[in-house]
Structure formats: C-alpha cells, structure tokens
C-alpha cells in the first residue's frame, strides 16, 4: 500500500483541502513525502454522519462477526509488513525492535478483544425472572445487557504510534464494545496512521461492516480534534497525551449540551519507593534496573519512573552513585518530535535551575538533532512538599530523587502526591511490615501497584489497570489497557416484560449466544 | 427515639448553629416542632474529616461484617416503628400505605446490598498468573480488585423520604462499596431524616465501624450541599432532584481541582408509545392504567408518564376520552412541599396557556392546601417538534398526549427526545414488526424499556437500570437502583508481583474470601 496523504471517510478516500502537513523524520529532522491534506469541517461532518448511521447496525452485529472483524484488522496490519515498520521507525525515531514489539502488542490487543467479544461477558447479561405469585405485588420480568455508547472519537498518541493510535487500545476496545470509531491521527506519525487506517478500512469492507464503522482524519487539534469532541454524534472520547490538551478536551466534553465521557490519560510521575532493607541489600541492582526503565524509549512512557523516594543515608548515596554511573553510560536517544524534544530540554533546564534541586548525573550528550539526554536530579522532602512544580511530569528520561528523613515523612510525601498511573515499591521481606502502612495511601492514588519492578512494560491482560485518579487520567474508574478497557464504552439497558421475540439475543430465554449470564444475581455459566 | 433537630457528626450529636428550619406538615401547611439547627462550615469540615479518617479502615472491613452492618441499619429502621411512619407521613403528605411500602423497599435494598457484599462479585477480583517461561518476555503476576472511591456525599430526595434519602439507595450502595457517607438531609423531611440517621449511627456503633462511616447534616443547599461537593475529601456524589440543582452540582464536581463523579438523577418525561393494534384493541384499559400511573403519589415520581405518543385517529380520540374520564375521578392529592405544589401549578398554567396545547381533562379540584390537581394535555407532533419547552418535565400528575400523523413521524419524534429513564411500549403481537424499528432509538435514549406497563414501580433487583442518558441522569453508564448501583462508587486497582502476604484477601492465592474470581479472563466460581 502506498501512503498518499488522504483522509479515509468510511470507504471513501478524500483529499483533505484544509492545509497540508508533512511527517518529519525524527532522526534527521527531514520533511517526508507525501503531504497530508487536513480535514475540513465538512469532512468531519461526513465522518460523523457515517459513524452515526453505522452505530445501530454495527452494535447489533453478531459477537462472532465482530470478533472476526477485529482479527481481520490484526491480520491486515501484519500484512503491511516492512512498509509499516520502516515508515513508523522513521516517523517516531524509535528503534526497529521497539516498533516490531509494539506491532505485536497492537495485534495482540485486537486479538484479545476478539476473544472478549466472543465470550460475551462484557454484555453482563442479567435476568431477574418474573414472579407472578409474589406478594404483595407480582414481580415483573427484568433483563439487562450493556450496549455501546455510540460513535467514539480516538486521538492518536505520539508515543505509541501503533499501540495507542489508529488501531490501538482505545480503538480496539471501542470497536469491541460495538462503537464506531473516528480517529484523529497524531501529526507525529501521519504515514503510519494512514497505513494502519487502510488496514482497518479493508477489514470493514471485507467483513461486511457498515462503512461508517471507521474513519480516519488528519487535521489540527483545535479544529478537527476539538470539533470531534463537540459533535453531538460523538458519545465518548479516548485520548492519550498532555495534561494541557487533555484537560481542554475534558472541559469541552463536560460543557456540551449532552456531556460525554472523555477518557484522557494525561500525566503521571509514577513514584518509586525504595524501602530501607531493599536499598541496603541491593541498591546497586535496583539503581541499574531503574536507569534502564528511565531511559527506555527515550523516557517517553506515561509509566516512566519520574520520582524516587527513599530514606536518606549512605545507602541512598550509594544508590545515587550507581544510578549516576549507569545513566552516564546511556547514550542520548532520538525523541518522537522536535516539539517534544525542546519541551523536554526546557523542563530539564528549569528543574536544573531550581534552587532546591541538585543535578546528580546526566546521560550521554546528544550527537544528532532531536535527541534527549537523560538526567537525574535530587531534592529534599521538605523542598518537594514546598514546591508544587517539582511534582510536574517531565516527558522524557528525567527523574527526581527525594531524600526523605524517615519512613514517616516518606509516607507524608506520598500523601501529597497527585493521582498516578503506577507506583512501584522495592522491598525485601524485612520491609513488609513498613510497606503495609503505605498500601492504603498508594491504593487511593494509583491504578497499579508494582513490587520490585518498574511501571514501564504494561502487560495487556485481564487484571491490568492502566488508569488512575485524576490527573493521571480523567477518570480513575477505568483502564485504557487490557480487557477492562471495553467497559469505558458501554452503558446498561434494561428490558421489562419484553416478549422473547423482541429481546436481543443476549437476553433471550434460550441463550442463543451461549454466554455466561447472571440469573437473579447469581452467575450461570454458559453451557457451551 | 426523639427528634431533636440535631446534626449527627459521627457519633457526636451537634446542635447546628447556622440558622434553624422547621418541617412543614404537608397536608396542613403547619410548622412542626422541633427546629433543626443548620450546619456550619466547621460542622461540614468535621464530618468530612471523620469520613476521610474512616475510609481506609471501613473499606477493608470484612465482607461479612460490612454485610451485617447493612442488615443492622435495616433492622434499626424497622425498630423505629410507627414513630418513623407517622412523622414521615406528616412531612411528606404521602399516604401511610405508601410510606410503609417505601420503608419495606428501603429495608429490602439494604438487605439486598448485604447479599451483594457477602457474595463479593462486586470486587471483580481477577488474577492473571505469572508465566515465567513466556517468550520473548516473562509475564508478571497481575491481580485486580475494585475498591471504594472514597467518602460519598448523598443528597436526600424530596419524593422518596426513605428509599432515596438518609439510608436509601445511594447510601446503601455507597456503604456496600466501602465508602463512608455524609448525607445532606432534604429540608422537606428533616424529622424522618434524623430518625433514620440515628438508626444508621446506632448500627455504626453496634457493628464497630469507624465513627466517620456516617454523618448527617442539615443546612442549605448552597452552603452545605455545594460545600460537600467542593470538599476535597468527598470523592463522589449521589443526588436525586431537579435538573437545575443537579446541573449545578455536576458543574461544581467537574470544576474541582480533582473532578469527581456527580451521579445526579434529574428529569425524565418517560415517553409512553401506544402502538396501533394495542390502541385499537384495548385503548380503554391502557387509558385507565395510564391514569393510575400518572396520579400515583401525586405524580411525584421520576418515572411518571409525562408523554404519550400515538397515531392520531378515532382510536386515539377514544383513548383520550377514557383517560379524561378516569382522571376526572381521581381526587387532588397532597404534594410533598408547598414549593413543589406551586411549581407544579405554574408549569401547568404555562402549558395550558401554550397556543399549541389543548387541555383535555383535569382531575378532581384541590380541597385543601398544597394539593395537586391532575391534568391531561394534547398537542400535535408538529408542535411538539417545534417547541422545545413542551419536552420539559412537569413534576406532578401532568401528561401530554402527542397526536402523530403516522408511525414514521412517531419515530421521528422519538429521535427528537432527550435522554430518558424509561420508555414504555403498549403493543399487541400484531405490532411487533413496527416495534422493531423503534427499539434502537429507544435503547439509545432510555435506561429501561417496558412492554405493556408503566415506569412507576421500580423493581429493586439485579437487572434493573434506573438511569439513562443525559439529562435523565448525569451519567447514563450507571444505575441508581438495584445491585448495579454499587458500581458507581468503585474503581479498579491492580497489584503486580505482590507477595501473597501483602495482597488483599480478595486476591490472595488461597481465595480466603471464597469469592468468584476471574482467572486469565475466565470466571472461576468459588468453591464454597
């Protein structure tokens, strides 16, 4: 397939006439062909109209055909082969192995959701049978299932050009839930987006899904991105990006005449707590693992360990020495875009100039344009509590070590933190008793608590929570990774005394879909 | 127990010093003793501080002890006996039988949630076991459970002085979820509130729950109500009331530095669609059942049938004649408060004066103060589509019949409706084919679809959805009635590679809570 720079509005290829933008080769800064035409308000309207028309049909496709559709997207992405990998490497500046791994994850997510759809547990089908003899009043027959919310707008993320973009986690979970998707491509990887978009579009056609099930738009965040969130036909939004852009979209979603959920995953510094025994017994190993996590993918992960908390003392000094040495060995790495790179440099300079912050170490210096140099800072617990700006995320390989006088002040510091995606605890068995006091505070403000690991590397499974209290995400009641993500795009509908022939398959008495259901509140496993 | 007009802040009885208000006997308009002291900002702060301190302890109480606590509340409410019933009848103006029924429902809800808590399915415990041998990377051990969101503010509802007030559905579901509750009592039934509040407080003490698990405040909506929603220690809100007050609270919740969900159940006109065959074959019976539903509880239900859609013609004329005759036989009924009564009168006058609306019938005239007289209006589909004000809820026994030229225009009219709690379809078998075309539109905008019934009488079960798209509720993804309501106050937390001794009981390998869990995505029923 060739990259042509076109919008994909349902099955129609449209040349966007609202200005043109180019991809940038992240490593060289060179402009890449072809130009991408921006969507007009009319293009946006056409995509929304198609999605709206598709919704009622798409959401009632059989579980099997919807599962096959998701699998077809996965297999079409694989068929793009090296064309996709090469373009994605150039646009993102990320190493080939990472992009191949990300493709595997993207395909894996789609296949996992195919399994989730086939099983049908996400429908949460419930039946409370009638009790005509009940006194004082007979009980009606009541049945419930979940349906899709409606068309969903998905924003591609700069740092996951495959796994959180056109056919990434938000799209896969929305499609699995029965919602048509309109993707607003990220300007950092438009060619990658178009290739994947064509793979999705082909699956829509081959699987006989209504054409409005998927559209892909290029264009400005303000015009096309915000325009999508404002459109009355859009009923939910999936976004991964900066806190600034996220809060803007959240506020647009909330101020519509019909407010909608905007699932924005925004910022997190992912505190790492190193407990005294672990620090003493294996500080050096933790330091090296930490630097590896910190510098992975040029630090451009929402789960990047941006904050280390430990009790001050010689063991912490040793830890900092080890981490500094390790960081010194890590060469600078190409960042996703020149904009991200300059924002990183600026934030690092501000941090370095902060009167209460000491620069402990830097990674290898940049050797070509658009590279980010890792950096390690330290400060005191007192300063951290006094200066809110020290808690702000720096997107890239930058981390701040806070020297805490004791565990009590470390806990106090945890209680001062905003909501986080992850928190990581490095502990030995001798630390367990101390850890117990921290768990409630960590549960209250993080979506995932890790032991003796780091948040980078987010497993796509059924028990994963990639979400957390505000501002790490807009809505800590949900996850954007793993099978739980489907729940974001569903709402329950109940049917009272409805004749069997009018009931949806999920609720018919004969259980034609052979799904697990809840009868009078108790799970009744499907007889397969 | 005596009604003293005091605030219940944890186990402390506090005399509110911020002004005093009195209950009004709804039937006579007389002021009732004693005066209720309003909460000050300090009282609010004290209740929030207690709730915050209670949260970490309360949410980790065992399922069994939390279930017993809910049951103790239920039994303490029953022990209030006639003192509660008599006070509630006077404050609400509702008949004794209704209040006794509502008490049964309230107690039933608490006991149902005790069952939900014991069973533990609401924890949605999930385990994705480690796969150390997996290639290319080993898989970590990942476990997930839901925890409570934090302290919840509950607003008592005027129209359900028991079932949606101090120990009503919001409180029961929040307590079941592991969230402490602070209730802002409704000014329409302060004595009822205090009595029930003492029943809850006694259960807190007898069951050894932390004292901040429950507090009850009297005071103004603006100061105490909005103050609760603004307080950073409050993490969710349950509200049933007017659209005006609801949207105000939603907007306060959304504009906090940490936004929180405000589950507001606001307004619904609950369209009733009478299909041609049913109208023809049994219009008279439907008309009489409709008037019964319309006038139940003086029409003061969120599920009151405020809108009738049918195809115009002689059968509809007959229906209107039957309904008018039936309504004429219904005496006026005491409304909840003088404010509600005068708002009803004003809205009815406006509707009657509308140039495109015909007043078809009125119920019996008021014979004492504060009574509402039922009323039936009609209009055309064209007018209904042209004048948005005809879609506004009138709280009380008022309904509008829309004469539709045909089924196609009836469907178009349905597509013009805002989000609704319920929609009811009256159909014969010969109507089924026509009905199919309406179901998608109804699913998209209602929480519950009923066949050959009316929305009043909301069954408290596992398959009930009492919720619907905005503006019927703030968040159509949830239900405020039935076991589903617990999900509003939960968020997921995942634990990665956590040693068994540190894991919460729900996730320990030996399954000490004996709950159903999801292993690698598949339900594994508990071995009890």
ipTM metric: 0.97
pLDDT band, very low/low/confident/very high, at A140 (cuts 50, 70, 90): very high
Q: Report the pLDDT averaged over residues A44-63.
A: 98
Whether A391 has a pLDDT exceeding 90, the answer reads yes
pLDDT at B276: 98
Whether B1 has a pLDDT exceeding 90, the answer reads no
Nearest to A461 among B128, B467, B476 (CB): B128
Closest CA to B474 of B419, B406, B518, B396: B419
The reply to whether residue A463 touches residue B126, judged by beta carbons under 8 angstroms, is yes
What is the rounded CA–CA span in Å between residue B368 and residue B374?
15
Using an 8 Å CB-CB cutoff, list chain A residues near B259: 250, 470, 474
Each residue's pLDDT tens digit, A88-103: 999 999 999 999 999 9
The reply to whether residue A459 touches residue B116, judged by beta carbons under 8 angstroms, is no
Whether B141 has a pLDDT exceeding 80, the answer reads yes
Whether A270 has a pLDDT exceeding 80, the answer reads yes
pLDDT at B437: 97
The reply to whether residue A448 touches residue B493, judged by beta carbons under 8 angstroms, is yes
Among residues of chain A, what percentage have pLDDT more than 90? 98
| CB of A145 closer than 8 Å to CB of A493 | yes
Using an 8 Å CB-CB cutoff, list chain B residues near A461: 128, 139, 142, 520-521
Among residues of chain B, what percentage have pLDDT more than 70? 100
Cα–Cα distance list, B367 to B298, B332, B343, B373, B375 (Å): 14, 7, 18, 10, 16
Domains of chain B as residue ranges with CATH = 8-21+30-266+478-488 (3.40.605.10), 271-451 (3.40.309.10)
Using an 8 Å CB-CB cutoff, list chain A residues near B127: 463
Within an 8 Å CB–CB cutoff, is residue A439 touching chain B? yes
pLDDT at A1: 72
The reply to whether residue A518 touches residue B119, judged by beta carbons under 8 angstroms, is no
SS3 content of chain A, % helix, strand, coil (to 5): 45, 20, 35
pLDDT at A136: 86
pLDDT at B314: 98
Cα–Cα distance list, A260 to A153, A236, A481 (Å): 11, 6, 20
Each residue's pLDDT tens digit, A463-504: 999 999 999 999 999 999 999 999 999 999 999 999 999 999
pLDDT at A16: 97
| Minimal CA separation from B35 to chain A, in Å | 38
Best residue of A494, A495, A508, A516 to probe chain B, by most B CBs closer than 10 Å: A494
Cα–Cα distance list, B123 to A516, B178, B486, B523 (Å): 18, 11, 10, 13
B116 token code pair:
């939900």
- The mean predicted confidence, pLDDT, of chain A is 97
Best residue of B115, B432, B485, B494 to probe chain A, by most A CBs closer than 10 Å: B494
Using an 8 Å CB-CB cutoff, list chain A residues near B501: 432
Whether A146 has a pLDDT exceeding 80, the answer reads yes
Whether A325 has a pLDDT exceeding 80, the answer reads yes
Nearest to B491 among A56, A121, A477 (CB): A477
The reply to whether residue A451 touches residue B142, judged by beta carbons under 8 angstroms, is no
pLDDT at B527: 83
The strand pair at A490-496 and B142-148 is best described as unpaired
What is the rounded CA–CA span in Å between residue B436 and residue A302?
46
pLDDT band, very low/low/confident/very high, at B136 (cuts 50, 70, 90): confident
Each residue's pLDDT tens digit, B315-351: 999 999 999 999 999 999 999 999 999 999 999 999 9
Each residue's pLDDT tens digit, B452-508: 999 998 999 999 999 999 999 999 999 999 999 999 999 999 999 999 999 999 999
| CB of A510 closer than 8 Å to CB of A518 | no
Chain B contacts in chain A segment 455-484 (CB below 8 A): 457, 459, 461-465, 467, 469-471, 474-479, 483-484
B14 token code pair:
């506090």
The reply to whether residue A449 touches residue B479, judged by beta carbons under 8 angstroms, is no
Using an 8 Å CB-CB cutoff, list chain B residues near A440: 56, 60
Q: Report the pLDDT averaged over residues B1-17.
A: 96
Residues in chain B: 528
Task: Decide if A404 is catalytic.
Answer: no
The reply to whether residue B115 touches residue A523, judged by beta carbons under 8 angstroms, is no
Residue listed under structure tokens 């049994």: B282
Torsion of CA A331, A335, A341, A347, to 10 degrees: -70
Chain B contacts in chain A segment 137-176 (CB below 8 A): 137, 139-140, 142-144, 147, 149-150
The reply to whether residue A459 touches residue B119, judged by beta carbons under 8 angstroms, is no
Whether B181 has a pLDDT exceeding 80, the answer reads yes
pLDDT band, very low/low/confident/very high, at A337 (cuts 50, 70, 90): very high
Q: How many CB pairs under 8 A join A and B?
A: 209
Within an 8 Å CB–CB cutoff, is residue A126 touching chain B? yes
Task: Decide if B179 is catalytic.
Answer: no
A16 token code pair:
């966007």
pLDDT at A436: 98
Q: How many CA atoms lie within 13 A of B65 on its CB side?
A: 14
Based on DSSP, count helices (H) and strands (E) in chain A, helices before strands: 14, 23
Using an 8 Å CB-CB cutoff, list chain A residues near B56: 440, 444
Using an 8 Å CB-CB cutoff, list chain B residues near A144: 462-465, 484
Active-site residue, selected from the candidate residues A48, A88, A302, A404: A302
Q: What residues contact residue A352 under an 8 Å CB cut-off, 6+ apart? A: A359, A375, A377
Closest CA to B129 of B113, B119, B142, B118: B142
Chain B contacts in chain A segment 62-101 (CB below 8 A): 101
B404 token code pair:
């539709």
Q: Cis check for the bond before A136: say yes or no (omega within 30 of 0).
A: yes
Chain A contacts in chain B segment 485-514 (CB below 8 A): 490-499, 501-502
Whether A527 has a pLDDT exceeding 90, the answer reads no
Chain A contacts in chain B segment 313-332 (CB below 8 A): none
Best residue of B496, B507, B521, B528 to probe chain A, by most A CBs closer than 10 Å: B496
Within an 8 Å CB–CB cutoff, is residue B259 touching chain A? yes
DSSP run (H or E) holding A45: helix A41-58
Each residue's pLDDT tens digit, A404-434: 999 999 999 999 999 999 999 999 999 999 9
| CB of B333 closer than 8 Å to CB of B372 | yes
Mapping DSSP to helix (H, G, I), strand (E, B) and coil, where does residue B400 land?
strand
A509 token code pair:
């008495």
Q: Sheet containing B375-380: which strands, arranged edge to edge?
A: A522-524, A517-519, A126-128, A142-148, A490-496, B446-451, B420-426, B271-274, B307-311, B398-404, B375-380, B358-362
Using an 8 Å CB-CB cutoff, list chain B residues near A140: 453, 459
Using an 8 Å CB-CB cutoff, list chain B residues near A490: 477
The chain B residue lying nearest A498, using CA atoms, is B451
Using an 8 Å CB-CB cutoff, list chain B residues near A418: 258
B35 token code pair:
């005066």
| Minimal CA separation from A464 to chain B, in Å | 6
The reply to whether residue A494 touches residue B451, judged by beta carbons under 8 angstroms, is no
The overall pTM is greater than 0.95 = yes
- The mean predicted confidence, pLDDT, of chain B is 97
């Amino acid at each position: 397939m060739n990259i042509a720079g076109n919008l994909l509005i349902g099955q129609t290829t449209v040349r966007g006439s609202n200005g043109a933008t180019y991809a940038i080769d992240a490593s060289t800064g060179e402009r890449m062909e072809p130009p991408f035409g921006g969507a007009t308000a009319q293009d946006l309207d056409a995509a929304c109209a198609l999605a709206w028309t598709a919704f009622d049909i798409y959401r009632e496709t059989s579980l099997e055909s919807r599962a096959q559709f998701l699998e077809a997207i996965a297999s079409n992405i694989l068929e793009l082969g090296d064309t996709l990998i090469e373009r994605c490497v150039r646009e993102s500046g990320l190493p080939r192995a990472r992009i191949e791994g990300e493709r595997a994850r993207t395909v894996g997510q789609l296949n996992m959701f195919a399994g989730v759809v086939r099983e049908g547990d996400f429908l949460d089908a419930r039946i409370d049978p009638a009790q005509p003899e009940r006194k004082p009043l007979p009980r009606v027959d009541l049945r419930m299932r979940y349906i899709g919310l409606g068309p969903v707008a998905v924003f591609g993320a700069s740092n996951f050009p495959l796994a959180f973009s056109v056919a990434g986690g938000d799209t896969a979970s929305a499609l699995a839930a029965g919602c048509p998707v309109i993707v607003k491509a990220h300007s950092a990887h438009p060619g990658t987006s178009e290739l994947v978009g064509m793979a999705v579009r082909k699956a829509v056609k081959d699987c006989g899904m209504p054409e409005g099930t998927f559209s892909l738009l290029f264009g400005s965040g303000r015009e096309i991105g915000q325009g999508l969130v404002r459109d009355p036909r859009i009923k939910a939004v999936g976004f991964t990006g900066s806190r600034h852009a996220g809060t803007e979209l959240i506020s647009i979603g909330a101020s519509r005449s019909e407010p909608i959920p905007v699932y924005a995953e925004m910022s997190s510094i992912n505190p790492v707590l190193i407990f005294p025994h672990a620090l003493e017994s294996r500080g050096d190993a933790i330091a090296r693992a930490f630097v590896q996590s910190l510098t992975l993918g040029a630090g451009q992960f929402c789960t990047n360990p941006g904050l280390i908390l430990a009790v001050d003392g010689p063991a912490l000094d040793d830890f900092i020495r080890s981490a500094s040495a390790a960081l010194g060995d890590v060469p600078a790495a190409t960042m996703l875009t020149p904009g991200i790179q300059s924002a990183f440099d600026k934030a690092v300079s501000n941090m370095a100039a902060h009167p209460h912050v000491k620069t402990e170490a830097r990674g290898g210096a940049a050797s070509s344009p658009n590279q980010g140099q890792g950096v390690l800072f330290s400060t005191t617990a007192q300063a951290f509590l006094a200066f809110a700006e020290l808690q702000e995320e720096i997107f890239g390989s930058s981390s701040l070590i806070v020297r805490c006088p004791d565990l009590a002040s470390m806990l106090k510091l945890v209680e001062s933190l905003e909501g986080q995606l992850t928190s990581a605890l490095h502990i030995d068995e001798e630390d367990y008793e101390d850890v117990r006091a921290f768990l409630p505070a960590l549960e209250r403000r993080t979506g995932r608590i890790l032991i003796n690991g780091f948040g980078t590397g987010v497993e796509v499974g059924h028990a994963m929570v990639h979400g957390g209290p505000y501002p790490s995400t807009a809505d800590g009641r949900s996850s954007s990774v793993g099978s739980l993500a489907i729940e974001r795009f569903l709402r329950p509908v109940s049917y009272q005394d409805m004749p069997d022939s009018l009931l949806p398959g999920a609720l018919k008495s004969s259980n034609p879909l052979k799904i697990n259901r809840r009868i009078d509140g108790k799970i009744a496993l499907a007889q397969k």
